[in-house]
């Protein structure tokens, strides 16, 4: 016994003719990449044979394209109608699914495929929802820190990524009891204190078509920053006994509370004050010439040095009796 269409479907075709239609399924969601290609698939049941398809978009006034499948070895016909899609669409696969290339943001929206099947008087309708996304770029992480009243350090990591559209989501790895996520996932707060282990975090950004990860970021157990080279300011005075009295001040442009200062060498007659930043020393020729200031914090150290001989030679020329004698000789030579 041969197969036949259900009597209810034949009756529907008798009363309504070929123009009758039905929606075969819920809208199919399809995601495409800006500038790329995407396919709106015709999901046919086994045994269904397509006679013709008409593709439409709610954002286009005219039909995008129509496909008529040939019989008995005849070629299929494909007609592009809507100007905005012309040259960017084609029929693919045995069911004549629609492929759209060179996607733009304007292509996003609702689509319909009106399908006529052979041996069926009903026009079937497939609905689609197309989303067009940009590829996300590699995110970068900004870091800031502050010290709380209890001495704990709170480090704030802010993840930023260009592109991807409004559907970008953020996540961090790893997470633990010392971390808090905020700012819709883009901000990570890390609590730490001296003695804790160094932690490494990675920010991951995603959208429906792509994902990317940041360079791993190290969070130190202290809010201290790496120190720059310190600056040394000096003043000198030649004493009556011929000794050179030096006052040296070691300073940092951005110094935290946990910075330590150390002067070297220190011998008899040296006085260190103001938290280690200031050195007073009496120097004479033949003594150690280089005076070095080293700054340290829990994560780094840096140093600068000056030559005592250079500082004292200028003062010696200014203040010593030899300077007066030298000036007398110069004036005499000039006949003044």
Question: Model's pTM, two decimal places?
Answer: 0.56
CB 24 within 8 A of CB 82: no
Q: Which CATH number fits domain 7-133: 3.90.550.10, 2.60.40.10, 3.30.470.30, 3.50.50.60?
A: 2.60.40.10
Q: How far apart are CA 271 and CA 217, in angstroms?
A: 42
Mean pLDDT of 20-25: 56
Q: How confident is the model at residue 23 (pLDDT cuts 50, 70, 90)?
A: low
Q: So what's the pLDDT on residue 70?
A: 81
Which residue bears the tokens 């009891």?
177
Q: Output the DSSP codes for 162-230.
A: --S-TT-EEEEES--TTEEEEGGGTEEEEEE-TTSPPEEEEEEEEETTEEEEPPPEEE-SS-PPPPPPP
Q: So what's the pLDDT on residue 6?
A: 43
Mean pLDDT of 307-325: 64
The answer to whether domain 231-321 has CATH 2.40.110.10 is no
266 or 158, higher pLDDT = 158
Q: So what's the pLDDT on residue 11?
A: 37
Mean pLDDT of 53-74: 87
4 or 237, higher pLDDT = 237
- Residue 249 pLDDT exceeds 90: yes
Give the residue range(s) of CATH 2.60.40.10 domains in the chain: 7-133, 140-219, 231-321
Q: So what's the pLDDT on residue 284?
A: 83
List pLDDT tens digits, range 200-220: 999 999 999 999 999 999 887
Which fold, 140-219?
Immunoglobulin-like (2.60.40)
CB 103 within 8 A of CB 132: yes
Q: How far apart are CA 218 and CA 138, in angstroms?
A: 18
């Amino acid at each position: 016994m041969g197969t036949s269409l259900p009597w209810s479907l034949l009756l529907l075709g008798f009363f309504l003719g070929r123009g009758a239609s039905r929606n075969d399924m819920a809208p199919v969601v399809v995601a495409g990449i800006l500038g790329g290609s995407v396919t709106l698939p015709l999901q046919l049941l086994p045994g269904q044979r397509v006679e013709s398809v008409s593709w439409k978009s709610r954002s286009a006034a005219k039909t995008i394209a129509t496909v008529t499948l040939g019989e008995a070895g005849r070629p299929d016909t494909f007609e592009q109608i809507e100007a905005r899609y012309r040259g960017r669409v084609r029929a693919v696969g045995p069911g004549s699914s629609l492929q759209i290339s060179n996607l733009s943001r304007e292509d996003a929206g609702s689509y319909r495929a009106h399908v006529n099947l052979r041996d069926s008087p009903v026009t079937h309708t497939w609905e689609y929802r197309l989303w067009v996304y940009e590829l996300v770029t590699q995110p970068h992480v900004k870091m800031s820190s502050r010290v709380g009243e209890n001495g704990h350090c709170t480090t704030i990591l802010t993840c930023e990524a260009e592109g991807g559209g409004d559907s970008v989501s953020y996540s961090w790895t790893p997470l633990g009891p010392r971390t808090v996520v905020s700012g819709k996932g883009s901000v990570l707060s890390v609590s730490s204190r001296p003695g804790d282990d160094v932690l490494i975090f990675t920010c991951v950004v995603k959208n429906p078509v792509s994902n990317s990860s940041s360079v791993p970021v190290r969070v130190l157990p202290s809010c201290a920053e790496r120190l720059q080279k310190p600056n040394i300011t000096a003043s000198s005075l030649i004493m009556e006994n011929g000794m050179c009295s030096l006052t040296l001040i070691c300073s940092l442009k951005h110094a935290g509370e946990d910075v330590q200062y150390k002067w070297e060498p220190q011998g008899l007659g040296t006085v260190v004050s103001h938290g280690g930043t200031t050195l007073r020393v009496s120097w004479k020729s033949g003594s150690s010439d280089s005076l070095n200031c080293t700054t340290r914090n829990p994560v780094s150290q840096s140093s600068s040095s000056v030559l005592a001989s250079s500082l004292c030679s200028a003062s010696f020329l200014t203040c010593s009796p030899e300077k007066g004698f030298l000036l007398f000789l110069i004036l005499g030579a000039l006949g003044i």
